[in-house]
Amino acid sequence: MVWIMILIGIFVVLVSLFATATPVQAAIPPLNSTDSHADATHIIIGTVKTISQQEVSTEEGNNYEFVATVEIIQVEKQPLHSADLIETADRHLGDTVEVHYWQTGKRPFGWTGPQGQNAKLPPNTQVRLFLRLGVNDRLSLLEPNGWEIYE
């Protein structure tokens, strides 16, 4: 009789734990290679020279906005009509471009939504950047994984 009471007690505790558990919130899934290449307006291989960071308040908490200066090694993709930031690969080898991205900071418990980049760009590293030309002609990383180490 005592064992039955113990088992019932354990069962009640387990049921109450699982019934009140908060479900895990999923992040935005990473882009696969095909989607990254298709969605990018520009694909650049370059060396990350500098990165600046700024904390920005939002309604839900805060974000971190980054601007990376990248020295161009190679341009793999650009719009055919591009008279903007990157006209031809040869003309801009060694030039620098500013690349913008962001990450979430503090958020309330249970918050879901866009998170910006999964990882920060590493300084002094060669990377392949999957970029989109956006508002004010700013080049921004595709989200959530708009770059990869270039080897």
Per residue in 94-104, pLDDT tens? 889 999 999 99
CATH architecture of 31-149: Beta Barrel (2.40)
Please choose, from the candidates 64, 50, 149, the residue with its C-alpha nearest in 3D space to the C-alpha of residue 101: 64
DSSP-assigned beta bridge partners for residue 75: 44
The more confidently predicted of residues 20 and 61 is: 61
The more confidently predicted of residues 110 and 7 is: 110
The answer, yes or no, to whether the previous bond of 144 is cis (omega within 30 of 0) is yes
In degrees rounded to 5, what are phi and psi of residue 126? -85, 130
What pTM does this model have?
Answer: 0.76
Amino acid letter for position 108:
P
Average pLDDT, the chain: 84
> Measured between alpha carbons, how far is 137 from 8 in angstroms, rounded to an integer?
65
125 in the Ramachandran plot: left (φ > 0), alpha (ψ -120 to 50) or beta?
Answer: beta
Contact 103, 120 (CB under 8 A): yes
For residue 15, the number of C-alpha atoms closer than 13 Å in the C-beta half-sphere is: 6
24: pLDDT strictly greater than 50 = no
Where do the structural domains in the chain lie, given as residue ranges? Answer: 31-149
Q: What token pair was written down for 30?
A: 């990473």
> Measured between alpha carbons, how far is 72 from 23 in angstroms, rounded to an integer?
44
In the structure, what pLDDT confidence band is assigned to residue 90 with cuts at 50, 70 and 90? very low
Scan for tokens 């505790």, then name that residue: 13
